[in-house]
Amino acid sequence: MDKITSEAEFQVAIQSPRLTVAVFKADWCGDCKFIDPFMPDVEQKFSNQLTLVEVDVDAVGDVSQQQNILGIPSFVAYADGRELVRFVNKFRKSREEIEDFLQRAVDVYETIHK
């Protein structure tokens, strides 16, 4: 997962016509560390359908505020600079919930890009 370290990088990533899912997280976040062990497998599973990017909320705080990210980890899907769907809440996310969200993002994207 590529790390986004500036607002400019974030803008470039979400402007892509390819489905891009931003994962908002931070080093100090326990629930973020919880997903770290299985995220590489999840990323591999969806690698043909989308790109995952990691957004450190401390490094690019303005982006988090602009995107109304209130809890982390949070997942927001974009294509062509537009938000398609989000999975944002204050609860710990399971692998199954993350995979379900990513599949939903793919379904929304494919509906729009037929």
CATH code for position 76: 3.40.30.10
Print the domain residue range for 68: 2-113
**How confident is the model at residue 77, as a pLDDT?**
98
Answer whether 79's CB lies under 8 Å from 13's CB. no
**How confident is the model at residue 89, as a pLDDT?**
80
**How confident is the model at residue 49, as a pLDDT?**
97
Which residues in the chain show pLDDT less than 50? none
CB neighbour class for 30 (10 Å; exposed up to 12, middle 13-18, buried from 19): exposed
Distance CA 95, CA 78 (A): 20
**How confident is the model at residue 91, as a pLDDT?**
80
What is the number of structural domains in the chain? Answer: 1
**How confident is the model at residue 5, as a pLDDT?**
87
Average pLDDT, the chain: 93
In the chain, which ranges are E strands? Answer: 2-4, 20-25, 51-56, 74-79, 82-87
